[in-house]
Every structure is written in structure tokens, then in C-alpha cells.
Amino acid sequence: MKINLKHVWIVLKKELKDAFRDRKALLVNIILPMIFIPVIFIISSIAAKSAVEVKPEKTPICVIGLENSKSISSMIEKSEFNIIKSTNPKKDLQDGKIKAVLIIPKDFEKLLSQEKQVNIQILTNEADMKSSNVGNILSNMINEFSKQIVKQRLIQKNLDPSIIEPVVINKENVAPPKKQSATILAFLIPMFLTLWAALGGMNAAIDITAGEKERGTLEPLLTTAATRSSLVTGKYLAVSIMALLAGLSSLFGIIASFVLLPSVLGESFKNSPFYGYSVSPLTVLIMLLVVILTAIIFAAIEVAIASYARSFKEGQTYLSPLSIIVVIPPYFTMYKMPNELTDTYFLLPIVNAISVLKELIYDIVNLQHLGLFVISSLVYIAISIKFASRMFENEKVLFRN
């Protein structure tokens, strides 16, 4: 059947007017994606900082047997940990009232003076990240104390202290701050962009297909001079525009995040996992291409599925699983570095968009992978549009009871 562009334009204008009249849909599809990502980034930055940051002067710990060692009691006092008394240290540790328990045995000084081995116990709650970090701090302090004792003993025996440390390990983190930030962003940004591209056109797709069936306005529309191909094209374009607007809003939210985060978080931004990260104009342009193609694919799928539904509510039931399906592909690439992504990742639906976005986050523009993504996406778009047209032209599907 032929497509009449004039009819397509009339349908498109009508559907867009209806979509923009729905203020709730605009709030969900355009405003929310724009502010959602900056808010998530700010919350993530604050949460990450508070989860791992340990300030000894404010952190409560319990020390059992502090009187058994003057040297350790002096060391703990200098560290400015908040030492509190507890009648049930293990329970208080489990309840989060204290972050670690240090147990010094009674014969600590005696065994030490006899050059015998002595055990110090540190209890932590590994379900609590701060408790784990406090345990590491205390372990490092005790280890340093132990090294000093060994060093003194060796010097007293006229031995070189370096003989007990034949190999010295010097660890160096060579990852630039931007690469470290990319580890988190490479999971969050692709997921948010594809999620909003999928959700953006959902309500419009349901309203202009199943919603029209329910209101009884679809049948009169089909009796007009406009062909079904023109009608489905106009409706499909309207859904694509709504999906695209949601995707663009989320992309704008990402750009705004990197502009606003330093001023919103101030000095705290230096401790943020996103510190030092920025997006280049080329990255934004390619992200825009990914969002456009992804939004178009989802629009066609949503129009096809919603056409099958008999009512708005049934359409919501059929399309709701999409929001869950979209968050699964990011986990396929979550533990993969960009150089570990094979060509297959750039051919699979949704996964190809996630993979290209992941490379972009790491500042990698691989033309071969980008070409595979564009070609495979165009194939999926063609299949999706064909599927949507078939569903819309099938009267058994369109008018089923």
C-alpha cells in the first residue's frame, strides 16, 4: 500500500498534539530523564563517600585489654579513634554501634619481652563497609607496630633489619582518574540512555493504538482516505519522536551532571567517583546517534505490541516487561573492559548500543564496531517497522475481542 506523505503529516501532527497535551507524560518522558541522572550522580557521589570514608576521630571502636599494653594504648590514643566501653562488644559490632573490636591479651607485654609470638584479635563486621575499613586501619597499625619491634630486636642483635624483608613491593596505580571514573559510568550511562529511549515512547504507543481502540476512535480513522500504511507511519513517527525526546533529555542530564557536579558538591567532588571525568563533543555526537537508532527500534516494537492490546491497561501489561528487559543487557558487558568486547557484542540487539556507549565512556571510537552497530541497528529497525506494519494491517489483531 502506498504512503501518502500529506496524510502521514496530518496523523503525526494530531498524535504529537495529543501527546503534548498529556502533562503527566511530558513530566515522565522529558523532565524526569533530564533531572534523574544528575540526582543519581549526586546521590552516588555522596553515598560512595560516606560508605568508605573513615575518620578515626569520629569512629567508635571497643578495645578490650587496653591496660595490657602501654605501647598499643598510646598508639590507639594518637589515632584519635573514639574508644567506647561495651558490655557486649560482638552484639554492638553487629548492630553497628561500634565499628571494630580490638582484643589485647593479658600477657601481651610479658610475651613480647620474652620475644615470643603474641596474638592480637581484631573483630569486624564485613557486612559493614566502614567496619571493614576500620579493621584494615587497625591491622595496618598493628603490623607497623610489629615491624618496629622486629627492627629493634634485630638492631639489638647487630643484624640488618632488611634481612627479614628481602623483597619490597611498591604498588602503583597507573590508571588515570578519568579511567577510574569510567568503570562506574560505563555501567550507569548506557543503562540510563537505553532505558529512557525505551520508556519514552511507551505511553504514546499505547495511547495511539490500544487507547484509540478503547475510546472507539480507531475504526472511524481507518475509514478515512488515509491508507493504513500512512496511518501507521504517522503514528510510528510520533512514538519515535517521544522516545527520542526522552533519550535526548537523559543525554542532556548526563552533560548537565558533569557541568553541575563540581559546583553542587564543592570540595566533596574530589572524593566523588566521577571526579576528573568529562565528555568530549565527539562522544556526545556518537551518543546522540546511538540514542536516535535505539529510540527508533523501541518505537516500532512498542507500536507493534500495543496494536495487539485491546485496551490501554492491557497495553501497559504487555509493554511493562520491556523496562525490565532493557536493564539486563548492561550486565552482559559489566565485567568486560572495552578491549574484551568482540564483534558479536556489536551485532546483538540492545547489547550493541550498550557496547558502543561503553567504548565511548572510555574515550574509544572504534569505527569498525560503530559500523557494525549502525548496520545491525538498521536491520533491526527494518524488521521492527515491518513487524509493526503487519500488526497494524492485520484486522484479526487490530479488532480482536
pLDDT score, position 398: 67
pLDDT score, position 271: 66
If asked whether residues 190 and 308 sit together in one domain, one would say: yes
The larger pLDDT score, comparing residue 273 to residue 381, is at: 381
CA atoms within 13 Å, Cβ hemisphere of 27:
3
Total domain count, the chain: 2
The larger pLDDT score, comparing residue 246 to residue 388, is at: 246
Q: What is the DSSP string of 166-177?
A: S----------H
173 domain residue, yes or no: no
What average pLDDT does this structure show over 339-357? 91
- Computed over every residue of the chain, the mean pLDDT equals 84
Nearest to 190 by CA among 373, 378, 375: 373
If asked whether residues 268 and 323 sit together in one domain, one would say: yes
Q: State which of 114, 137, 163 marks the end of a domain.
A: 163
pLDDT score, position 139: 92
Q: Burial level of 156, CB count in 10 A (0-12/13-18/19+)? A: exposed
If asked whether residues 345 and 251 sit together in one domain, one would say: yes
Distance CA 146, CA 149 (A): 5
What average pLDDT does this structure show over 80-92? 88
Q: Strand order of the sheet with strand 60-64?
A: 82-83, 60-64, 100-103, 121-124
pLDDT score, position 41: 79
| Cβ neighbours of 241 (radius 10 Å) | 20
Quickly state the pLDDT bin for 293 (edges 50, 70, 90): very high
Nearest to 385 by CA among 237, 214, 178: 237
Most confident of 66-80, 88-102, 325-339: 88-102
Strands 100-103 and 82-83: unpaired
Q: Is the pLDDT of residue 52 over 60?
A: no
Q: Is the pLDDT of residue 337 over 60?
A: yes
pLDDT score, position 54: 60
If asked whether residues 138 and 247 sit together in one domain, one would say: no
**Which cell numbers in the block locate residue 401?**
475481542
pLDDT score, position 292: 92
pLDDT score, position 391: 79
3-state secondary structure of 397: helix
281-294 residues labelled b (16+ CB within 10 A) or e (exposed): eebeebbeebbbbb
Q: What is the residue whose three cell numbers read 523532565?
A: 31
Q: For residue 131, what are the domain limits?
A: 60-163
264 domain residue, yes or no: yes
Q: State which of 111, 131, 163 marks the end of a domain.
A: 163
Query: Is the model's pTM score more than 0.85?
Result: no
Q: Is the pLDDT of residue 368 over 90?
A: yes
Quickly state the pLDDT bin for 123 (edges 50, 70, 90): very high
274 domain residue, yes or no: yes
Q: Is the pLDDT of residue 48 over 70?
A: no
276 touches 178 (CB < 8 A): yes
pLDDT score, position 51: 58
What average pLDDT does this structure show over 82-87? 88
Strands 100-103 and 60-64: parallel
Q: Which residues does 275 contact at the CB level (< 8 Å), separation at least 6? A: 177, 181, 269
